Amino acid sequence: MALTRSRDLSLRLDRIACEGHGACAELLPELLSLDEWGFPVVHSAEVPPELAAHARRAVAACPVLALRLDRRPS
Amino acid sequence: MTAESVHESTRPMPAVTTDGSAPGPHGTRLLAGWFTTGRAADLTDHLDRFGPAPLDRVARRGDSSALVRAVEEAGLTGRGGAAFPTARKLQAVADGRGSAVVVANAMESEPASAKDATLLQLAPHLVLDGIALATQAVGAREAHLCVARTRQDQVHELRAALAERERHRLDPVPVQLHELPHHYVSSEESALVAWLNGGDARPTATPPRPFEKGVGKRPTLIDNVETLAQLALIARYGPAWYREAGAPDAPGTTLVTLGGAVRHPGVYEAPMGAELGRLLAYGGGPSERLSAVLVGGFFGSWLPAATALPARFTKQALAELGAGPGAGVLVALPERACGLAETASVLGFLARNGAQQCGPCRFGLPAVAEDFAALAHGRLDADGLHRLERRVGLLAGRGACRHPDGASRFAATALRTFAADVGHHLRFGPCPAVDHPPVLDVPTGPVPGPDEWR
């Protein structure tokens, strides 16, 4: 089946594009937090199925498109 | 008559002692010419000593993978810092889609290193042979040599060497010499690719890695110039000869830059896998009692002298100690010096010399440098130390390139190696050594402006 299953998803952060807006950590605190200057710390890049919808929302909320959701080769 | 017809075959190499250990003429390979003549090898010297690069041999067999196999059997690893197996990189680029590109990295931005500049000055044609051979091995139609714009003497010498080779038609693909801005992170391979593609000499986000998609989006082999010179020797003398020096798990020789409290600081060629204490002996050994050794330069790690001196110079042995061979820099720190002050000074340099692109280098690293300077000057309290440790831990793995990782390791190994000094500074303030001239020569330039990267 061609559909991507949510357990195949992982977060990818473009560190150069990131400006530290912090929306991602607000929407996905299970996987991301912010350092004292507001830049994300990724605790786990693997997105468990139950967080897939939250992860998509976090990706969509980034104003500079620095956060992406990649399919991991399974 | 061309040079090639005069020099029919490769010349024999002077015999090496069984472990390739003896300093001077016996045991040196890359720098053999220097010990014989005491001057930089021009093309005539080079051809007299080594003969021409065995390009015709590869071409005649129509089998460029023979060189890749020889490099693999030799066990050559990259000498720019990462110690990655060179054959695997060659193979990956050769297997890539479309015609490949070769880039020789002579940027040597590590302030404590001088080995690439020394090699290019004393034996430039070994490096240029290596470029020609690598070009052929990966099927490249384009070859670039990247040097720092600030080193104009080097630029003139290399231009002359390239012109001489062109007259003798030695290179199947002309080598283009490029003068790049000289900043610490401009030697990083993605920065070279970005510059050659018309952008700033600043690291970019990966993937894609340059071997997949590099210069002109083509598969790109980026090798340090010493690596290429070693390749030029392996192509001539073969893997078995290469392994006559060094150790089975770390074959061949390597260039090291010895600094700090050694009797004769400078660049030496020494066997891979030797104990660090033996490497220091190439420079006459310690000139006074040592407290620590900086392994790998500003991108490296501090180790206590008692740990460092018996440690073997291999990727694995050093990794077990939290260090790595890096670009072959060893700085011996004398007991009278303050390791914390030395570290603070280097961290200040690293903070000023990031690409100013990612959060950790723009904010985290300067904060770490500031805390560390406060620690060195006895102005930090216990809370400040906890904050420093937390900030150091948060740098690694959070940049587009490995600059914050290197700074984090540098600071963390300093806190570990100089733990007793840390306690002393917290309680009693700075040590007397803080007023002495520093051992490490740290450049003091300001943060490069946004228009200084092109």
Which structural domain, as residue segments, surrounds residue B220?
3-242
Asked whether the beta carbons of B52 and B141 are under 8 A apart, the reply is: no
- Whether residue B92 is contained in a domain is answered as yes
B218 and B343 in one domain? Answer: no
In order of their start, the domains of chain A are 7-69 (3.30.70.20)
The whole-number pLDDT of residue B20 equals 44
Instruction: List CB contacts (< 8 A) between A15 and chain B.
Output: 205, 357-360, 398-400
Give the whole-angstrom CA distance, residue B162 versus residue B439.
38
Which domain CATH number covers B354? 1.20.1440.230
Q: Distance from B357 to chain A by nearest Cα, in Å?
A: 5
The whole-number pLDDT of residue B25 equals 43
Give the whole-angstrom CA distance, residue B64 versus residue A65.
43
B345 and B238 in one domain? Answer: no
B346 and B198 in one domain? Answer: no
- Whether residue B442 is contained in a domain is answered as no
The whole-number pLDDT of residue A7 equals 56
- Whether residue B302 is contained in a domain is answered as no
pLDDT tier for residue B57 given thresholds of 50, 70 and 90: low
B187, B216, B242 - which closes a domain: B242
DSSP secondary structure letters along B130-191: HHHHHHHHHTEEEEEEEEETT-HHHHHHHHHHHHHHHHTT--SSPEEEEEE---GGGGSHHH
The whole-number pLDDT of residue A1 equals 45
* Reported ipTM: 0.89
Token pair of B135 as six digits: 């070009």
- Whether residue B347 is contained in a domain is answered as yes
Chain A touched by B400 (CB under 8 Å) = yes
The whole-number pLDDT of residue B207 equals 85
Instruction: List CB contacts (< 8 A) between A20 and chain B.
Output: 359
Read off the pLDDT of residues B228-271 as tens digits, 9 standing for 90 and up.
999 999 999 999 999 999 999 999 999 999 999 999 999 999 99
* Alpha-carbon torsion, ordered B13, B19, B22, B28, to 10 deg: 30
The whole-number pLDDT of residue B247 equals 95
Give the whole-angstrom CA distance, residue B332 versus residue B296.
12
Asked whether the beta carbons of B425 and A41 are under 8 A apart, the reply is: no
Q: Which helix (H) or strand (E) holds B281?
A: helix B276-282
Q: What total of structural domains would you count in chain B? A: 2
Read off the pLDDT of residues B300-310 as tens digits, 9 standing for 90 and up.
999 999 999 99
Asked whether the beta carbons of B108 and B116 are under 8 A apart, the reply is: yes
Residue of B nearest to A35 (CA): B394
- Whether residue B35 is contained in a domain is answered as yes
B357 and B222 in one domain? Answer: no
- Whether residue B226 is contained in a domain is answered as yes
B215, B242, B269 - which closes a domain: B242
pLDDT tier for residue A2 given thresholds of 50, 70 and 90: very low
B146 and B34 in one domain? Answer: yes
The share of chain B scoring above pLDDT 70, in percent, equals 92
Q: What is the mean pLDDT of residues B386-407?
A: 97
Chain A touched by B363 (CB under 8 Å) = yes
Instruction: List CB contacts (< 8 A) between B363 and chain A.
Output: 35, 37, 39
Closest CA to B411 of B428, B433, B396: B396
- The one-letter code for the residue type at B36 is T
- Whether residue B114 is contained in a domain is answered as yes
pLDDT tier for residue B206 given thresholds of 50, 70 and 90: confident
Read off the pLDDT of residues B415-448 as tens digits, 9 standing for 90 and up.
999 999 999 999 999 988 877 889 999 999 999 9
Q: What is the mean pLDDT of residues B315-326?
A: 96
B194 and B74 in one domain? Answer: yes
Cα dihedral across residues B187, B190, B195, B201: positive or negative: negative
Which domain CATH number covers B112? 3.40.50.11540
**How many Å is the Cα radius of gyration of chain B?**
22
pLDDT at B62 over 90: no
B348 and B214 in one domain? Answer: no
Contact B400 A15 (CB under 8 A): yes
Instruction: List CB contacts (< 8 A) between B357 and chain A.
Output: 15-16
Candidate from B204, B359, B394 with C-beta closest to A18: B359
- Whether residue B11 is contained in a domain is answered as yes
Contact B364 A35 (CB under 8 A): yes
